[in-house]
């Protein structure tokens, strides 16, 4: 952003010379102030936006949805403590809820995303999303039937080579246990999806109840770019 002080035209050359110096100083000061303000504003990432699961809401999308307009409210600490610790760790993990991906995994996901790091994509993006791995009672989305739909929003229209949707096994408690590959069961693997903004992935389950994590892997089509997405749900 560039801030320019408007030119002031005076009738005499001496008067014009007299105002140029302070106006030039004002321009410099305004430019410095603008840069300082921009440095304090969290970067939203919309210029290079990608995508994520918005229903059932991913952990960081849900935190942004509930608190994005009020993320400094101390009431979050008691009302939504898992989001509170995530906002405190790195607000950009929520502002950039659509940027949790890794490049170049070559399909070998368990090698690049260790146990306990599934929700951060193996501590991708310099560790920005690490707080999403924190074990605790994350807010859940209620699912009332065995069959449901994972809805993913792809702002950049990358398309998909495929989606894999997992859910934690019955008896695993994500509120007290770190998420591991062995705690997951594969529900569905899709074929390709043409580039679009919205994708629906139908999922069928059986015999699940209580708190679970739905884990979605999105292999984008435009390059070897993979998204790793945790959504907390409650099967009612």
pLDDT, mean of residues 63-80: 97
CA 113 to centroid of chain Cα atoms: 17
Closest among 109, 125, 218 to 230, alpha carbons compared: 218
For 124-178, the pLDDT digits (tens) are: 999 999 999 999 999 999 999 999 999 999 999 999 999 999 999 999 999 999 9
Tens of pLDDT, residues 197-215? 999 999 999 999 999 999 9
Q: Which residue has the tokens 């039937």?
A: 145
pLDDT at 11: 34
Query: Cα torsion for 203, 81, 117, 226, to the nearest 10°?
Result: 50
14: domain range?
A: 1-41
Domain count, the chain: 2
For CA atoms 152, 79, 167, 144, the dihedral sign is: negative
- For residue 122, pLDDT over 70 is answered with yes
CATH number for the domain spanning 212: value is 2.70.50.50
Residue 23 sits in the same domain as residue 65: no
Residues 193 and 152 in one domain: yes
pLDDT band at 48 (very low <50, low <70, confident <90, very high): low
Residue 45: pLDDT band (50, 70, 90) is very low
């Amino acid at each position: 952003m560039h801030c320019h002080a408007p030119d002031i035209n005076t009738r005499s050359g001496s008067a014009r010379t007299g105002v140029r110096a302070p106006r030039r100083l004002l321009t410099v000061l305004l430019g410095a102030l603008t840069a300082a303000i921009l440095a304090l504003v969290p970067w939203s990432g919309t210029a290079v936006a990608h995508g994520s699961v918005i229903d059932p809401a991913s952990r960081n999308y849900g935190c942004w949805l509930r608190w994005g307009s009020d993320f400094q409210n101390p009431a979050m600490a008691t009302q939504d403590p898992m989001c509170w610790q995530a906002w405190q760790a790195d607000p950009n993990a929520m502002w950039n809820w659509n940027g949790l991906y890794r490049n170049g995994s070559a399909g070998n996901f368990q090698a690049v995303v260790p146990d306990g790091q599934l929700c951060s994509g193996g501590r991708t993006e310099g560790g920005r999303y690490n707080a999403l791995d924190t074990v605790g009672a994350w807010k859940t989305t209620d699912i009332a039937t065995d069959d449901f739909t994972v809805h993913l929003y792809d702002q950049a229209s990358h398309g998909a080579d495929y989606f894999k949707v997992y859910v934690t096994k019955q008896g695993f408690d994500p509120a007290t246990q770190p998420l591991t590959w062995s705690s997951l069961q594969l529900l569905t693997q899709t074929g390709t999806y043409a580039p679009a903004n919205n994708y629906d992935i139908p999922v069928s389950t059986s015999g699940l109840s209580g708190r679970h994590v739905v884990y979605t892997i999105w292999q984008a089509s435009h390059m070897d770019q993979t998204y790793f997405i945790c959504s907390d749900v409650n099967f009612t």
